[in-house]
Amino acid sequence: MIKLYDYRRSSACYRLRIGFLLKGIAYESVEVNLHPDVKAQEAADYAAVNPQKRVPAVIIDGAVLTQSMAILDWMDEAHPAPAFLPDDPVQRLRARAFAETIACDIHPLNNVSVLAYLREQFGADQAAVRTWYASWIEKGFEALEVHAQASTTPFLFGDQPGLAEICLIPQVYNARRFDVDLSPYPRLVEIDAQCARLDAFQSATPEAAKPN
């Protein structure tokens, strides 16, 4: 059994839950509570698992592995069907670029550790933090909406959801949590609604995810 060190509201963990469920890969979820009043990721027992003190981490065949995008690559290589990426090389590149716009450009700037640093080192109040958070989502989503509008398939890069949706849906969830206006991004909202009809996405939501 794969062990996932998980936090319900972590975007990176949310990605992995979707990925495991789409692939039909069984896993055990072990909660690492990132709430500022708990900070379980900084405890010595978790630091021994992942010295970076971040989630997710997974244990596969006794090996501790980290970084959600790398773990998603492993899923696609070890369990090829259903594929997360299109067959066409250019479309594969586009799908990866879409996903990495979220994973590399939006998400890191809005990570829990960054928001805590804004509060603790610069005295940012909640209104300032929310403005910061929304600004990076809006910049990223503006570009992603252009790419999404160019898609002529039911999902972003084909007839089934893949890596792009795996990264998009947790970020849309976060946007709603922070009251970001999503009306300028109708195609992204449409994709989110389509994914919400699928069991894998329903079962991966923070509300549905149940740590063991």
pLDDT at residue 212 in the model: 45
**Residue 28 · residue 16 · CB < 8 Å:** no
| Residue-level pLDDT at 36 | 85
Give the whole-angstrom CA distance, residue 136 versus residue 107. Answer: 8
What is the C-alpha separation between 145 and 151, in angstroms, rounded?
A: 10
Per-residue pLDDT of the chain in tens (212 residues, 90 and over written 9): 899 999 999 999 999 999 999 999 999 999 999 988 899 999 999 999 999 999 999 999 999 999 999 999 999 999 999 999 999 999 999 999 999 999 999 999 999 999 999 999 999 999 999 999 999 999 999 999 999 999 999 999 999 999 999 999 999 999 999 999 999 999 999 999 999 999 999 999 999 986 54
Closest among 135, 142, 137, 198 to 166, alpha carbons compared: 198
pTM: predicted TM-score of the whole model, two decimal places: 0.96
196 contacts 173 by C-beta, under 8 angstroms: no
Cβ contact 118:124 at 8 Å: yes
Residue 210 confidence (pLDDT)? 64
Give the pLDDT of residue 209: 84
